């Protein structure tokens, strides 16, 4: 019961402001300006905005490049994933940095440190995942409205574009991947919040961590053979989508759950040993 009350309080503080909506719009904007199509003749990259403004989308439909499925897949690029730990956690960061020390101390005494730490983790994960899903979902809806499906243009190559999935499973896999990435993006900020509520540390350090992590995985994947490199690349954030599309959803969920449990253990362990309420 203490956990439920604490969770409602944490979610209320994070969602009551316009920050989550603004962050979702930022995610939508990042998707719109990401290169999703490359001209085979000139090698020039086009984003959704430039495609709609500068050229006729039907010119490239024959090659299945400008179909909504490929656009939706390409929009979740490494750039968007790299910035997601900053954008998606802003509601959590704002809530933590603006906390009143005396009110926080009272809440911890009323609910207990374990319930407080666990509810903060769950609220951070849910809020971050919701922000990324909302922004990416808006882009998916926008793309569905503006661009044709591969089923409408060239149904014979639909299996290759959809990776042998149905249309429904394709969209479900994209949203599931976005939810998991958003949830994982909150973990570094949550761990840092146990030690400090400085908003710059909670945003900059996760950004640097994910940047170096993705760079390391990319370098390692290129340093091995093709088969080993594919396996190594699955450990990147982009690899989450590839793993889901290849039927490895259970392993992705288990890996995400393990990371969340580790974050919870770290948060509870250090919070139990502190007497200043992380002030």
**Segment (H or E) for 230:** helix 226-233
Greatest alpha-carbon pair distance for the chain in Å reads 66
| pLDDT at residue 198, as a whole number | 82
Count the neighbouring beta carbons within 10 Å of the beta carbon of residue 114: 16
Residue written as token pair 């909150």: 186
The pLDDT of residue 132 is 93
pLDDT at position 129 is 93
List strand residue ranges (DSSP E) for the chain, in order: 35-38, 45-47
Q: What's the pTM value of the predicted model, to 2 decimals?
A: 0.85
Q: Which pLDDT value is given to residue 25? A: 93
Q: What is the pLDDT of residue 273?
A: 67
3-state secondary structure of 47: strand
- The kind and range of the H/E element at 177 are helix 167-195
> How many angstroms separate the CA atoms of 266 and 177, rounded?
25
* Cα gap 178→5, rounded to integer Å: 28
Distance CA 16, CA 3 (A): 20
Closest listed residue to residue 195, CA positions, set 276, 115, 103:
276
- CA 259, CA 2: separation in Å to the nearest integer? 24
Separation between Cα atoms, residue 241 and residue 243, nearest integer Å: 5
Per-position pLDDT tens, the chain of length 279: 577 787 788 888 888 888 999 999 999 998 888 887 777 666 677 788 887 776 655 555 455 567 788 888 888 876 777 788 889 999 998 888 877 666 666 667 676 777 778 888 889 999 999 999 999 999 999 998 888 887 766 666 666 677 777 888 888 888 988 998 899 889 888 888 888 778 888 888 888 888 888 788 778 777 777 776 777 776 777 777 777 777 777 877 888 888 888 888 888 788 776 555 444
202 vs 226: CA distance, rounded Å: 36
Q: Any idea where the domains of the chain sit in the sequence?
A: 2-272
**pLDDT value at residue 57:** 55
Helices marked H in 45-166 — which ranges? 48-54, 68-75, 78-87, 90-97, 101-111, 113-146, 150-153, 158-161
Q: Please give the pLDDT value at position 128.
A: 92
Helix, strand or coil, per DSSP, at residue 224: coil
> Phi and psi at residue 235, in whole multiples of 5°?
-85, -5
């Amino acid at each position: 019961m203490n956990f439920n009350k604490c969770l409602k309080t944490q979610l209320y503080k994070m969602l009551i402001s316009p920050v989550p909506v603004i962050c979702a719009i930022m995610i939508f904007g990042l998707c719109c300006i990401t290169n999703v199509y490359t001209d085979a003749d000139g090698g020039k990259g086009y984003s959704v905005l430039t495609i709609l403004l500068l050229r006729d989308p039907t010119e490239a439909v024959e090659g299945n490049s400008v179909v909504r499925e490929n656009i939706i897949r390409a929009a979740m690029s490494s750039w968007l994933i790299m910035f997601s730990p900053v954008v998606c956690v802003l509601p959590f960061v704002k809530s933590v940095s603006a906390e009143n020390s005396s009110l926080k101390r009272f809440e911890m005494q009323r609910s207990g440190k374990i319930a407080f730490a666990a509810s903060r983790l769950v609220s951070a994960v849910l809020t971050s995942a919701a922000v990324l899903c909302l922004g990416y979902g808006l882009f998916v809806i926008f793309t569905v409205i503006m661009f044709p499906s591969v089923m409408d243009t060239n149904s014979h190559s639909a299996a290759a574009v959809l990776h042998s999935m149905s249309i429904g499973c394709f969209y479900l896999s994209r949203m599931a991947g976005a939810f998991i990435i958003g949830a994982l993006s909150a973990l570094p900020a949550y761990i840092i919040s146990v030690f400090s509520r400085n908003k710059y540390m909670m945003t900059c350090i996760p950004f640097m961590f994910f940047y170096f992590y993705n760079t390391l995985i990319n370098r390692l994947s290129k340093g091995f053979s093709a088969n080993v490199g594919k396996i190594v690349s699955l450990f990147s954030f982009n690899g989450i989508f590839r793993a889901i599309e290849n039927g490895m959803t259970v392993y992705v969920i288990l890996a995400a759950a393990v990371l969340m449990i580790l974050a919870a253990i770290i948060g509870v362990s250090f919070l139990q040993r502190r007497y200043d309420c992380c002030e």
